[in-house]
Amino acid sequence: MTAHLHETGTGTGTGEDGVNTLQAWRTGIDTHQEPVVYMRRDCPVCRSEGFTTQARVQLTAGRRSIVATLSVVDGDWLAENVAGLSESAWASLGAQPGQLVTVTHAPPLDSLSHVRAKVYGNALGDAEFSAIISDVAAGHYSDLHLATFITACAGDRLDLAETVSLTNAMIGVGDRIDWGRPLVVDKHCVGGLPGNRTTLLVVPIVAACGLTMPKTSSRAITSPAGTADTMEVLAPVNLDVPSMRRVVERTGGCIVWGGSVRLSPADDILIRVERPLDLDSEGQLVASVLSKKAAAGSTHVLIDLPVGATAKVRSAQAAAALGRRLQEVGSAIGLHVALRVTDGEQPVGRRIGPALEARDVLAVLQDARGPGRPAGASVAAGGGHPRNGRCSARRRRPDARHAGAGRRPRLGHVPGDLR
């Protein structure tokens, strides 16, 4: 049925001017955010250009252009004059059904030579990492290219200078917020523990104490819920930068999903491929965390390092090494980084999952019979942000929580019956 519908199209193939065009069609196939185009093996474009599966092709529709990975189709579900687009390719290209799409070879990527150099153990500098990350953010790398780069940098293959270069490159390809304030604080937990929703407690308490805390958080990677997932139970987290700025200017803090703000777009792309690879790279972890903090406009960052048998950091020695690298890179890019090593042997909260973890958070903020461990951990973490080396809010922090001052800004943007 699909093939018959598209066989009636005209104006496709290789024209007299040598331009290869096909009709755009939305396949509805989810390729995990990798732009993919499907073309018949016997279509005129594949025959004239010699395209094969996994070729990188450039698609142009009107004024928009993307680079996609080609999958060659032998079945009759796709007509020979049609370019089937995956969901990611369809959204990125912005084509209309039946619109003519020009198909050409993708431009060669000079930065891949730097990736190959890293595979063979060579050190890379600022220019090389900048070229690689620029192409990553622009969508020029296929998932195979990304996996190669991630693998080449895995383990201890990035020294301090390379980690700084990678961090700066990741900051450079995204937006960067300037709050116009000398002190902007943030926190990050290296993670690996279920029920760890201390961010939803720390942000309102710190903001109620008068500090500025714009927090971008991730969705779940290895646990049932991420900070953004739990916050989304209570309020929208898909905010763009202008919306994020309005919330912070009104309340002093925010909790938004990092994927909705273009602060470190290359990092979001790399994480998408890192998850199925399940590779542990200290250098990329440091670059990922600190690039987002710097891009969000933070000046002082508290890093929580839980140590436990099932946490991401398994030993005190590993925590010391990772903490030292975080502080060294932070200093190199102008961030003040403080560390806090915590017990990671047990889950943090009593409930697991977005809705139940949100109940834990509200119970603590409302001084109900909430779980003691996240409350204590959050109060301790809330006192770790330095103001000229110390946290001037430490003395006022318990009063802010018990008086409900931390709860009011936290609930101020919750829509519906939870307001």
Dist. CA 5–CA 64, nearest whole Å: 26
Residue type for position 413: H
For residues 367 and 377, give the distance between their C-alpha atoms in angstroms, rounded to a whole number.
Answer: 15
Six-digit token pair at 257? Answer: 């999903």
Length of the chain: 419
Residue 295, token pair as written in the block? 């891009």
Helices (H), 209-263: 227-234, 241-251
CA 225 to CA 228: how far, in whole Å? 8
Catalytic residue among 42, 240, 280, 399: 280
Task: For the beta carbon of residue 398, count every other beta carbon within 10 angstroms.
Answer: 13
Number of CB atoms found within 10 A of residue 132's CB: 27
139: three-class secondary structure by DSSP: coil
- Integer Cα distance of 187 and 228 in angstroms: 14
Q: CA dist 120 to 113, 117, 222, 261, 304, Å?
A: 11, 5, 31, 35, 34
The verdict on whether 175 is a catalytic residue reads: no
Residues that are catalytic: 280
